Amino acid sequence: MTAMIGPFFYANGVVTAHKIPVDSGETRGGKVDNPYSHEKLYDDNFNGGDYIDIPRGRVVWDTVRNSAIIYTDACVEATDGAIAKIAELFGLSDYIVSHDEHYVCPNCMGDIWEEN
């Protein structure tokens, strides 16, 4: 399977994603990304509420390492099997997991403030 990139949500054990092949993405700063937004993905797949309320992340391609980066909320990474499920859905065999302030749900937001 070709490696894919894009935004995703992880809710109740289900990954909801918008995937495109790496070679269809946009390159910026050594990373290839899918321009599809979490807001659009949310509007297309969920009713009511706000996208920021659901644990989320994004798979991007690192052109320097020639592998994927799964940016995600800490609670997703801490959920048994979640990263493997995301990697499988996106067709990833070589990847790292990283965190970014863009991908923090309200439940984890308190943890950020407690660490500082």
Q: pTM to 2 decimals?
A: 0.91
Q: Which of 32, 45, 105 is nearest to 72 (CA)?
A: 105
Strands 67-72 and 95-98: parallel
State the pLDDT confidence band at 112, using cuts at 50, 70 and 90: very low
pLDDT for the residue numbered 41: 96
Domain boundaries, the chain: 4-115
Residue range 25-67, pLDDT digits in tens: 999 999 999 999 999 999 999 988 888 889 999 999 999 999 9
Residue range 69-101, pLDDT digits in tens: 999 999 999 999 999 999 999 999 999 999 988
DSSP 26-77: EEETTEEE----HHHHHHHH--SS-GGGS-EEEEEEETTTTEEEEEE-HHHH
* Residue scoring higher pLDDT (81 or 102): 81
State the pLDDT confidence band at 102, using cuts at 50, 70 and 90: confident
28 Cβ partners below 8 Å, 6+ apart? none
pLDDT for the residue numbered 113: 46
